[in-house]
Structures are given as C-alpha cells and as structure tokens.
Amino acid sequence: MVNLLQPGQDPKALVQTLTSYLMHKHYCENDVEALVALFDPEDFFWLGAAEQEYAAGSRQVTEIFRRFAGKVPTCNITGEEYQVMELSPGAYLCYGRAWIATDPATQVYIRVHQRITTAFRFREGRAWCTHIHISNPYSEMVPEDVGFPTQVAQQTYQYLQEQVEKQKQLIADQTAELQRLSFEDLMTGMYNHNRFYWDMESGRFAQASALGVACFDINGLKEVNDHAGHLAGDEFIREAARHIAAAFPGLGYRLGGDEFLVLWEGVEEDTFRQRVKEACAQALTHGVPVASGVSWRAAPCDVRRQVDEADRLMYLDKERYYGRPGHYRKGGE
C-alpha cells in the first residue's frame, strides 16, 4: 500500500509524497477510491474548495467524495511545492501549493495557483490522512483585488490565450504539412505536377529578370522495367531525381513518370547550362542516362513558351541518344 513507511524512509518524505499523490489522484485522475483509502478511519476532517464544503468523520467525507466521481475535469499539475513539519511524535502537517490547469481536451479553461494542507498520523507503520484543506481559487484574493479575484481571472485568461495560440500553431503546422504533401512528389521529394500548375497560375515568374528552364527525361527506363521490374525502374527514377535535385536544390519538379523540370529565375545563362550538364553527367556516372533540353531568356521571360522550347529540345536530345549504335527505343519511350 502506498502509505506504508519503508525501513529507513523519512516520515516527512512519505507525507510529502502522499500529499502530492492525493493531489494527482483528485485533479488528474479523479480517482475517488484512491483518496478515501488513505483516510484515517478513526479521525478525519475535511475543508473543501467551496464555503459549504466541510465535514468530519471518515465515513461522511467518503460519501461526499464519492459524489465527486466523474465531475472533476482532468487537470495537469505543475510547480508543486511542499513543506512538512512534525507536530508531535507520529503526527505531521504538510502545506503546499501547485499550479492546477485544466487539460485543454476538457474544453474547460482555468489555471490557478492552488493551496493544500494535509495532516497525517502514523499508526503501525502506516501514514493515515486525518485532515485535508483545499483553498478555494475563486475566492483567493490578493491585497490588490477589490471585490473580485482579479489575479485568478487574469491567470485564467492568460492560460486560455496560451491554449488558443497552441491550437493556432497546431492548425498552422497541419496546414503547412497538408500543403507540403499536396505539392511534394512522394517518390522523389521534388515538387509535383500540382505545384507546377500552381506556380504557372500564380504568375510567379512574370517579373523574373532572367529565367532558366530545363526539361529532363530518362533514357532506357522501359528496358529497365521490362528486364528488372518496376521496383528497379522506380529506383532508376529516384537516382535521376537525386542528381537533378543536387544540381538544382528546391527548384525541381517531377511532372510524372520519368519526366522532370527545373525552373530557376534570376540565374546567369552559363551557370544554368553548366548545372544541367553536371546533373546529366552525374546521373550517367551512376548508370542513369538522362536526356535534357534547355531554354534561357533574359527579361521579358515567358515561362510557358520556354517550357515548350525546353521540352522540344529535350526530345531532340532523346532522338540523338537512340540514334547511336546500341541504343534501341522500345515502345512507350
């Protein structure tokens, strides 16, 4: 049982532990039976949170406490502070305070600096609670308060505001995650077709001082799928994406299948063309041949025409690849 004094244990430490235990069982778990199990059957007095809440005798207080079952909103307890003094041999008084805040899931919002006083008496090695006094947060006045517990009201309002801000942040995080998922290609981590269309419709590149557009398409993917299976083909796609993304971090789109696009505003032409060559060279080094087409313009830029131009040049590059000895195009490529 929790109230048994262990060999070598300080009685004051056990009284402090039991006082915290009573607080948690009442406010956090609403476990009435755990509370009444510690009441001294011979002598008990209780002062509750409201003016009319007081009773003497373990049996009477137990009956009152059992009416609390299911009625106390779940709370969280922080900042517990307790002090214990020995009143006489085997008799101890504990007084303390802690922050009591309703759990947001209860949709009840209040936070108070609650006070508690308990008395325990030891008999046959066990500590029995003989007295509980819980202060009333609604009448907890400070000298600056006049006619109303203003400080408690302010604390409760602050707590409510904190919970509102937490919920707003949670919604913002969830919204950002949903947007990320709607704009991200799950296979490669690049932007997807949805993000491409969103960028086109938003007019994002209309005022670009310069714009580089590159289209990429994997050569030989169908052969990989036919001979090694589609899982190997997917890895082929991921490998190409890794090198394109490395050359153009945060700028690449997977439009579908093995087709990729890069849009880079404000870039110098030489820099852009060199990055495209590097991406293709790195992919080829890792066994993935990639066709590419590039369109670069200084302002005024026209992203749609440049995408068409880069796409056309990419297919010409693809034709050159399959025109070489040993490279055979299969249907669907």
Reported CATH class of domain 11-140:
alpha beta
In terms of DSSP bridges, do strands 126-134 and 45-47 run parallel, antiparallel, or are they unpaired? parallel
Q: Which two tokens mark 182?
A: 């709607």
Phi-psi region of 107 (alpha: psi -120 to 50; beta: other; left: phi over 0): left
**Structural domain boundaries of the chain?**
11-140, 193-322
Is the distance from CB of 218 to CB of 235 less than 8 angstroms?
Answer: no
State the burial class of residue 31 (Cβ atoms within 10 Å of its Cβ: 0-12, 13-18, 19+).
middle
pTM of structure? 0.49
User: How many Å separate Cα 166 from the centre of its chain?
Assistant: 10
The packing angle between helices 193-202 and 150-183, to 10°, is 100
**Superfamily for domain range 193-322:** Reverse transcriptase/Diguanylate cyclase domain (3.30.70.270)
What is the pLDDT, as a whole number, of residue 230?
82
What is the pLDDT, as a whole number, of residue 216?
97
- Rounded Cα distance, 262 and 273, in Å: 12
What is the pLDDT, as a whole number, of residue 275?
97
State the burial class of residue 289 (Cβ atoms within 10 Å of its Cβ: 0-12, 13-18, 19+).
middle
Q: Which two tokens mark 326?
A: 């040993």
**H/E segment holding residue 304:** helix 303-322
Is the distance from CB of 29 to CB of 154 less than 8 angstroms?
Answer: no
The secondary structure of residue 249, as a DSSP letter, is: T
- pLDDT (tens place) for every residue of the chain, 333 residues total: 689 999 999 999 999 999 999 999 998 999 999 999 999 998 999 987 666 778 999 999 999 889 888 888 888 999 999 999 999 999 999 999 999 888 888 777 778 888 999 999 999 999 999 999 987 554 554 555 333 344 555 667 777 788 788 888 888 888 777 776 678 888 999 999 888 988 888 888 888 999 999 999 999 888 888 888 888 889 999 999 999 999 999 999 999 889 999 999 999 999 999 999 999 999 999 999 999 999 999 999 999 999 999 999 999 999 988 877 655 555 555
